[in-house]
Amino acid sequence: MATLPSTPTGTAGAPRMGPREFVVLMAMSMALQALAIDAMLPALAGIAQELAISDPNRRQLIVGVFLLAAGLGALVPGSLADRYGRRPVLLCSLALYIVFSLGCALVTEFNTLLALRAAQALGSAGLSVLPSAIIRDRHGGDAMARQMSTITVIFMLVPMVAPSIGLAVLMVAGWRWIFALLAVMGLVVGLWVWLRLEETLDPANRQPIQPRAIATNMVTAASNRASFGYVVGGGLILSALFGYVNCAQQLVGEHFGAGAYFPLIFGATALCMAFASFFNSRIVERFGARRVSHAAVLISIALSALQVWNASRPGETLLEFMPVIALNICMVGFIGANFSSIALQPFAHMAGAASSVQAFLRMVIGSGLGMLFGLAYDGTARPLALAFLGCGLSALVLVLWSEHGHLFRRINPRGALREVLLPDTHC
């Protein structure tokens, strides 16, 4: 599909942002939330010790609460962006990210830290919602999937290096300085957005701030059959990934004995996902987002079954665990961007609201279940393996429902739009 025209405003005097700069800026905006999660992983034990946390699994809440609050907050910024534009709402999200990062650096009590982490995630929820809406303003169909995959490649560099960044900070300072670093990174991206990002919302697509209109848009976005299965299925796939993130430090670093090598191993799994996203960006327009993502779901189910088998055997080793989990995380790279672009395709006229409600559903499902999967850690890899298998099978059923029992179809954007307007396409 041809690139849609943008409506530049707010950057008078600056040359128009090129496609490469746009991709990097969108990726860095999204990556700030990933940095707020993954940079904390090496510090969890130190935070637990300094703030007197007795239950070793409770430290996971520093990550889990952030993920859940980010999902809840995703409902708000999309509707605001449909009314006031993408740029001002994105800037507000960045400002709140900076303020609450500094607040987290100053806490002296664990429950206060959790409250501020929740506020940080709620306030910065636009960082995960708005880039998708901005991209949808400019692209559609498989071209959007390719753009999202390219952005994901850059975005995934952050989880690759974030634990090492956190560890590097810990080598010269305390864990509080990790939050100070988050504030600095947020300031850098905020200045970049302020100086360079053009407004992409078409004035004809502005939506009123009326509770009834917002509710109608959100119900429409949530209840469309053609996208519902992909949104909820994507959330389930995400929940297995978040389950791994929540318990990775305990499972890989402690149970499997990775120790100081944990940041490198965690980064290697993120590299697998980045490679998958890069490869997806090169093949998705040729084969179609549906064909690629459906194949990835089936492969993920097979890998998850192998995980369960390995975890059920006594004495599973790190060398047996990591290749399989890395390949399964690799499949997430083929699923995430494609599922998101398929789900958002019908909503060009209300991309902000649709992006919000879809991000809300994905993140609440993903973070809520992911937190439970992490807390189910029992000193073995079995709970995580069962989570991957159950979520993969459930996602497959949901996709089959959205696709009326068919897999691997390729639907052009115009055909897809006709399909979602048929009377039987709602839940």
Report pLDDT digits (tens) over 237-286: 999 998 998 888 889 988 898 887 888 888 888 788 878 877 887 888 78
Quickly count: other Cβ atoms within 10 Å of residue 380's Cβ. 14
**Spatial distance between the Cα atoms of 312 and 321, rounded to a whole number of angstroms:** 12
CB 304, CB 385: distance < 8 Å: yes
Of 69-73, 216-220, 300-304, least confident by mean pLDDT is: 216-220
Residue 9 has pLDDT above 60, yes or no: no
Tokens linked to 85: 């534009």
- Is 0.85 surpassed by the pTM of this model? no
User: Taking all residues of the chain, what is their mean pLDDT, rounded to a whole number?
Assistant: 82
Task: Please check the confidence at residue 65 and state whether its pLDDT lies above 70.
Answer: yes
**How sure is the predictor about 19, in pLDDT bands with cuts at 50, 70 and 90?**
confident
Radius of gyration of the chain (CA): 21
The pLDDT tens digits for 25-48 are 988 888 898 889 888 888 888 898
Rounded mean pLDDT, 288-305 = 94
- Where is average pLDDT lowest: 1-5, 43-47, 176-180, 298-302? 1-5
For 12, other C-beta atoms within 10 Å of its C-beta total: 6
Model confidence pLDDT, tens digit, residues 85-142: 889 999 999 999 999 999 999 998 999 999 999 999 999 988 987 887 788 777 655 6
Which of the 8 DSSP states describes residue 56?
G
Write down the pLDDT at residue 419.
36
| 304/321 Cα distance (integer angstroms) | 11
Two structure tokens written together for 369: 């279940």
Tell me the domains of the chain and their CATH numbers: 19-421 (1.20.1250.20)
Q: 420: number of CA atoms within 13 Å, CB side?
A: 24
Q: Which residue has the higher pLDDT, 352 or 181?
A: 181
Residue 368, token pair as written in the block: 């809520």
